[in-house]
Amino acid sequence: MLSVRLNEEMQSKLDGLSNATKRPKSFFVKEALENYLDDMVDYYEVQSRSQDSSRNLISVEELEKALNV
């Protein structure tokens, strides 16, 4: 179980969306959190890979040549 305090503006938006769609507020909070967490996992994966000294990089020119572009 998790408890979250929202400011008045977020609470109002969430209430309005919930009322307009007849969905529970928890549905939108879960959706938003899931999307955010997916983005953060991707972000930290990119950060990790960018720091990897064993990564194999090629230039744009090398890529174009390999693709015959």
Q: Provide the pLDDT for residue 27.
A: 97
| Per-residue confidence band for 51, with pLDDT thresholds at 50, 70 and 90 | confident
**Alpha-carbon span 30 to 24, nearest angstrom:** 10
Mean pLDDT in the chain? Answer: 94
- Domain contains 57: yes
Number of compact structural domains in the chain: 1
Range of the domain at 55: 8-66
Give residues with Cβ within 8 angstroms of 66, minimum separation 6: 58
Centroid of chain to Cα 40:
5
Tens-place pLDDT, residues 17-41: 999 999 999 999 999 999 999 999 9
Amino acid 4: pLDDT: 92
What percent of the chain has pLDDT above 90? Answer: 78
What CA–CA distance (Å, rounded) separates 65 from 61? 6
